[in-house]
Structure 1
């Protein structure tokens, strides 16, 4: 019931964000364009893992075929990889908005936003296409227990009876540059953002500038913190590892719409306007 409730609120929150952003013309800006795609990604990410988790928690026979497990790992890589690149694009958007506000319309155009989103999906798909075909060559000589709630590559490597050194090297050669490039781009964006905010003389101006990027910063810390610990901790099946796995793939997609809606006055105002329109139409 706990995970079913989490999944329900994940669907409700992210679908609500998509509806509000598409219905309210005040939110038709690059920042909310990226946010709508983040909500769609969170829907995909949670739907890849949580329904199978709910089935396993209810059923007596908790089994999955190797092929089905690799299919789930394929979509996890696409969703997580795309979200990492999308978060870096959102950090760049906040950097331009705060550090170069007069050039915002030139540097962040609608066409560039679409290119950022499609580029994020393309690179996430590339991660999965490189890793999963190599994983298909792994041999599993017996029935094994995956010490996790979902199928991800780090959980499968210790279960294979074949040599997985090539698989591990390929995964690290993809994950480390992927994580480093996206994390460093976000890090340096926020270094410049913080430097610009501190140079603002007005306290109200500093507060307003910080409020526009604080929600995104919280999302980044949740995603990268739990994702890093999930993929780079030794697979042991410990309770702490299970907590990081659930945080990464289940809790974070539910929290993102709450973080952006509770800390964003424009989103709350848009929700009120959308609810008002719905009620007036119903009346």
Structure 2
């Protein structure tokens, strides 16, 4: 059985400033989760932290992307850390940060083999930089990791693409704009909007994904969870709020199927901003739901002996 290692990537490098002179608060998410007992409940073998480079709100002149050089440096360090865990058959339980933290993890996955990516998010994050109003990689992460975008980010260590486009499942988007959706609809990724997910049924959707992982003989899959996939009424503390979203009943059902799969190689949680949840009300509810489902259904083995947790 795999041992769980919590990996903290407290980065906000992929987001714009919420207001002039203020950094996005999502970099404080790992500490905020600790305060609300996620680490205590998960009981990892150990907790590893890699602090991010200094944040800047200035776009790179060549790529028009925020913090592009810092993102490259950080992703390389992240990949080394995650690769080391995967090589030891550990389970990386990654806490962001914004969605740009995905870069380091998928580089490590590519170094180990051929993996799928289940991208559970209220947005597709499959956007070309030319359409980005912010230049933030957080809104382009799924596109970049499948090889679409500036080579500085898409081809680190000559590994493009980190995830094959046809092995990406983008699930839960509710930003129903034709120009936005067309980018992923015109790709070879599997796109299932929130409307389509409810139409198909959650169990049918996940069974199709897991069958594809098996039929393609993939080495496993990575689970990306953006907190904004949840309904805005139960998760308003995110940077890009959108009406509707998954209820906790739907979210717990969906993740329970994924947690039961022995092909789940690791996961990450992103975007919940502690600055937008002053009382911790929404974080407490998230931690309760997520950890209950994970502990009940996961196929990896938490190790309670770590006295530091």
What TM-score, normalized to structure 2?
Answer: 0.28
Higher percent of residues as strand: 2
What TM-score, normalized to structure 1?
Answer: 0.29
Structure ID, larger Rg: 1
Higher percent of residues as helix: 1
